Amino acid sequence: MNKIKQVGLARVLTGMVLGLMFGVALVPYIMGVRNSSPLVCLLCAALGGAAGAATLPFADDGKSLLLRSGIHLAVTASLFGLLMAQLGAEGVELLVWEAILALLYAVVWLGRWIGWYVEVIQLRTLLGLSPGPSPLKWRETLPYLPFVLFLCNGLPLLMRWADHAVSADVPVLSGLILPYLLLPVGGFCSGLSLGKRQGVCPLYPTACLVCYLPMVFLLFNRTALFHSVMAALPALLGNVMGWMYRRAVPKRGAER
């Protein structure tokens, strides 16, 4: 344990030194100023330390992993926001920089998480245990993919064709019934079914969102982008509710 702490401290200190060097040497060159203020240098060093902490191994269990990652992201985003504000970013520009940081953080974290999860599966296999669910439960989500393709691709094509077939002045089927009834109900019910059987599957609502996007530009225009949300958001809600039901029912059975 002491060795792990020493390695972690060394990585944090290395990150702080590199961050300080960046603040002293590169920030003035990038911003076109003579030198950096002490606060900017301090924030760069703190950000470097946060980056060094991010290289530490993941926690052993999922809850600790999510908790530590959430705290680290909050600290990193706060330091980065303060630094960008010191460098002149404000308002929408500051939000854009924070969004870029969040996206970069998500990509790096996901890449590390997949590697960590593969190691967990290998360890469980060596111990003769069940390997557990696939990363992000992509394998458990696959059986629902044909329904997603029908809901988000086949059904819009059918509704649009029906509107043209009857020469309707107002596209009731594709413009009203599809986004406000069929997509939410289909997404919610399928997400509920998946959640009750497999738990939270984050790729399912994402698949609903992505699969509908081609239909937006093929059949409608960018004003119909909300159609994707009308499929993805109920799918997410149903998936979470199904997961909650799955967790609650065994407890009720045990109480009886």
**Is residue 7 in some structural domain?**
yes
How crowded is the C-beta side of 12, counted as CA atoms within 13 Å?
11
- How many folded domains does the chain comprise? 2
Note whether 6 and 115 are same-domain residues.
yes
Note whether 163 and 60 are same-domain residues.
no
Note whether 119 and 171 are same-domain residues.
no
Note whether 98 and 9 are same-domain residues.
yes
pLDDT of residue 213: 92
**Is residue 54 in some structural domain?**
yes
Domain boundary among 71, 98, 126: 126
Note whether 158 and 58 are same-domain residues.
no
How crowded is the C-beta side of 194, counted as CA atoms within 13 Å?
30
**Is residue 255 in some structural domain?**
no
Domain boundary among 93, 126, 159: 126
pLDDT of residue 255: 45
pLDDT of residue 211: 94
CA 137 to mean position of chain CA atoms: 14
Retrieve residue 19's tokens.
């961050």
pLDDT of residue 256: 43
- List the pLDDT tens digit at each of the 256 positions of the chain: 567 677 778 888 898 899 888 888 888 877 777 778 888 889 899 989 988 888 777 776 667 878 888 898 899 999 999 988 888 888 888 888 888 888 788 867 876 776 677 677 777 778 877 767 777 888 889 889 999 999 999 999 998 988 888 776 778 888 889 999 999 999 999 999 999 888 899 999 999 999 999 999 999 988 999 999 999 999 999 999 999 988 887 654 444 4
Note whether 167 and 72 are same-domain residues.
no
Domain boundary among 106, 126, 146: 126
In sequence order, the 6+-apart residues with CB closer than 8 A to the CB of 37 are 86
pLDDT of residue 4: 65
- C-beta of residue 234 within 8 angstroms of C-beta of residue 188: yes
Domain boundaries, position 193: 135-250
Note whether 162 and 112 are same-domain residues.
no
What are all long-range contacts of 38-45, with beta carbons under 8 Å and residues at least 24 apart? 39/86, 40/83, 40/86, 40/87, 43/79, 43/82, 43/83, 43/86, 44/19, 44/20, 44/83, 45/16, 45/17, 45/19, 45/20
pLDDT of residue 2: 67
Which residue type occupies 10? A
Note whether 31 and 98 are same-domain residues.
yes
- C-beta of residue 52 within 8 angstroms of C-beta of residue 11: yes
